[in-house]
Structure 1
């Protein structure tokens, strides 16, 4: 039995809380997963997992062993990263976790170009919103849009791009309800709220007299920017959305950006990765590539 390989299988079973999900991710059969866990338990002389038809529980010994397995796997990966650095040839699988909408609209376009340039690097990408544990979930890199000031963390965070947030609406809605002239007019409108944006229902504009924040309300709240955009296109109200979410609809005249005399609030896209002694060349290479790619492809200003 390959003990190190079995450790990797064990870690993924615990992370995913499922033999079948671990088997699918590792591209092996469920029976192979079961056999490796059984052999590992026999090797260490202790029960690591308690499995029933409905649940999978980690024993006390299994929990302690899991933590040690994680450390061992991390150390091996760092050793391989060091060798890769010294060889100067980025390779292997790059595991990325990214915000859902940003991943669908921008990351999805950049990755094929990167793969064309660096065929020795493969990708394993998960799109989801919310927090992620990079170490526990075995991600090399997370891409997150948030305020320019990140909270303190044990991870390294590199700012990759600035994301302008525009207040906008459809021409038909503005014709029916009137176009707000100053930020405080937004209080009289149905404002559609993107819940995962850091500004949520406090929309910010920067004018010649300084920063102005408006508390807005409306009949729709959603945790997906594309859903909010569709409501804007259906003439339901106004929204504050990222430039990359509305760009092609602004250009087509289906969405109008408001308050041209104000500077929109800007959020930051961060590349976040574990603070390790050796950063994998594939991580550094992709971040540098993606930063340059976004500089060429991320619309910063609309011609209003």
Structure 2
């Protein structure tokens, strides 16, 4: 990297970075060169998209930002099929649970698990599917600590919290014939990754509220069971976000169409879906 920067500085006959033993800062000239080169690359991308649109085949680099666990367990399985269908598209994936600045970081689209009510945003959002959540535990934990006889009884249990969920500390369990009320929960583990929470559940540490795609294979094997099997699950949703409608190119639209159909066929909506072992 240092050699590449040095070659650029020699080419422009100007310092692009100020270097010390402890810091590295972009100079005003370096910042101007970066933004100009970025515009040139964007124009190259637009040209690729124009040619692709005229030929009817998407091509070029598709930059995707996605939630960490959803990307690992779901998106990772869908991508090989998409890339086999559209071999002229290259894919760059960033998995991150924070919300990035899409324009500044150069993402073409962002996939996020959100509540059904979206906050105001300048981004364009499209809902791809619902994502049911299930309060769950191991049979061993429930045998040891007892099965909650109502949602409010969760307050007496060790509830394991996935902190990035919008419903992290208030779980909504809709029992038949009852008005659902959020239950304030707490426990000895809070984690920013639902796989960490799932491992604690498997270690019989407590009860968690996790998405269907995270636990469905383990429910099928009997390692995890729903705590309230008759309850209607609380739902989040999978959304795709774009910086603007004008930025929606052929490669983006083809991926969104593909992924929406793939989710409909592969993402478990219940814990008894026949294909949960593949999701």
Q: Which residue of 2 aligns with 1:192?
A: 160
Q: Which residue of 2 aligns with 1:159?
A: 127
The CA deviation string for residues 41-74 of structure 1, in whole angstroms up to 9 with x for no partner, is 43xxx54421223322122454455445444543
Q: Distance between the aligned counterparts of 1:149 and 1:119, measured in 2?
A: 36
Deviates most, 235-244 or 73-82: 73-82
Q: Distance between the aligned counterparts of 1:101 and 1:217, measured in 2?
A: 22
**What TM-score comes out, normalization by structure 2 length?**
0.90
> What root-mean-square deviation, in Å, do the aligned CA atoms of Structure 1 and Structure 2 show?
2.0
Q: Which residue of 2 aligns with 1:282?
A: 251
Residue aligned with 2:104, SS? coil
Which of 102, 114, 136 aligns to 1:146? It is 114
Deviation at 1:128, TM superposition (A): 1.5
Q: Distance between the aligned counterparts of 2:229 and 2:44, measured in 1?
A: 53
Q: Which residue of 1 aligns with 2:276?
A: none
The CA deviation string for residues 102-149 of structure 1, in whole angstroms up to 9 with x for no partner, is 111111111111112121112111112111122222211211101122
Q: Distance between the aligned counterparts of 2:77 and 2:189, measured in 1?
A: 30
Q: Distance between the aligned counterparts of 1:108 and 1:278, measured in 2?
A: 24
Q: Which residue of 1 aligns with 2:184?
A: 215
- Asked if the contact 1:82/1:278 (under 8 Å) is kept, the reply is no
Q: Distance between the aligned counterparts of 1:96 and 1:37, measured in 2?
A: 31
Deviates most, 229-238 or 100-109: 100-109
- TM-aligned CA distance change 1:37 to 1:123, over 3 Å: farther
Q: Which residue of 2 aligns with 1:263?
A: 232
- Asked if the contact 1:162/1:267 (under 8 Å) is kept, the reply is yes
Residue aligned with 2:246, SS? coil
- Asked if the contact 2:64/2:108 (under 8 Å) is kept, the reply is yes
Q: Distance between the aligned counterparts of 1:37 and 1:286, measured in 2?
A: 39
Please give the residue correspondences for 1:215-234 in structure 2 after superposition, counting only pairs within 5 Å: 215-234=184-203
Which of 212, 225, 238 aligns to 1:243? It is 212
Q: Distance between the aligned counterparts of 2:201 and 2:6, measured in 1?
A: 50
Q: Distance between the aligned counterparts of 1:157 and 1:184, measured in 2?
A: 35
Residue aligned with 2:173, SS? strand
Which of 3, 7, 11 aligns to 1:35? It is 7
Which of 186, 203, 208 aligns to 2:171? It is 203
Alignment: residue pair count = 272
Q: Distance between the aligned counterparts of 1:276 and 1:73, measured in 2?
A: 20
Q: Distance between the aligned counterparts of 1:278 and 1:251, measured in 2?
A: 42
Deviation at 1:297, TM superposition (A): 0.7
Q: Distance between the aligned counterparts of 2:270 and 2:112, measured in 1?
A: 21
Question: Which 5+ residue runs of structure 1 have no aligned equivalent?
Answer: 1-19, 21-29
**What TM-score comes out, normalization by structure 1 length?**
0.83
Q: Which residue of 2 aligns with 1:177?
A: 145
Which of 67, 77, 87 aligns to 1:119? It is 87
